[in-house]
Amino acid sequence: MAEQAAESIGALLEEMGARFELVIEAVTGFGGRIDILRDEIFGQFAEVGSQIRFLSDQIAENRRGVVAARDDLGAEIVRIGESLGRARVEFRDAISTLQGAIADELARTPEEISSGTKVIRKDIDSAADGSTRKLTAELSKTHKAIEKLAQKFERFDDRITVATRDQDQRIRKLERRRAT
């Protein structure tokens, strides 16, 4: 959108320059003052054009930064999903293993049930604690990464907002000058 605006302003400036040349040809009898004025106006048109190109380049660069931040955020979300999936599978496997151990223990003699139950309960508790610690660590890492990416995204958004406001302000100045 900004590039279209820059192109339309550029085309408008070129058209104004062409018309200005026609006026200059018509009033060449006014002497060197008009030549000086013409050179000054052409210089100002060239300066405005270069400023518009510069702003367009800055906006494009900021947009590339936002796209990169979004890509980073997307990759981080995928990594989080994969980590959570792995943790769920590990937890499910640990529970299955423990259930199998319980079944094996129950198949043994009834005298061993109480001692086997204690061992199995300890195994379940340690497996659950280990899985909980892994999940907590992964969630903590993920939270920190998401906070960093959110901060980056906010900075890029702020830069784009400032650049857009600056460009709008310059365009309004040019329009006011043109109106006068």
pLDDT of residue 113: 60
Domain residue ranges in the chain? 2-179
Q: What is the pTM of this model?
A: 0.37
Give Cα separations from 115 to 56, 95, 104, 110, 124 (angstroms): 76, 19, 13, 10, 14
**What is the percentage of the chain residues whose pLDDT exceeds 70?**
88
- Determine the pLDDT at residue 26: 67
Q: What is the pLDDT of residues 73-106, one digit of tens each?
A: 888 888 888 888 888 888 888 888 888 887 777 6
- Residue 172 pLDDT level (bands cut at 50, 70, 90): confident
- Looking at the chain, the whole-number percentage of residues with pLDDT higher than 90 is 0
pLDDT of residue 137: 86
The 10 Å Cβ neighbour count of residue 59 is 21
Tens-place pLDDT, residues 132-157 = 888 888 888 888 888 888 788 788 77
Is 29's pLDDT higher than 60? no
Whether residue 160 contacts residue 66, with contact meaning beta carbons closer than 8 Å, is answered with yes
| Cα–Cα distance, 2 to 123 (Å, whole number) | 63
Class of domain 2-179: mainly alpha
pLDDT value of residue 31: 61
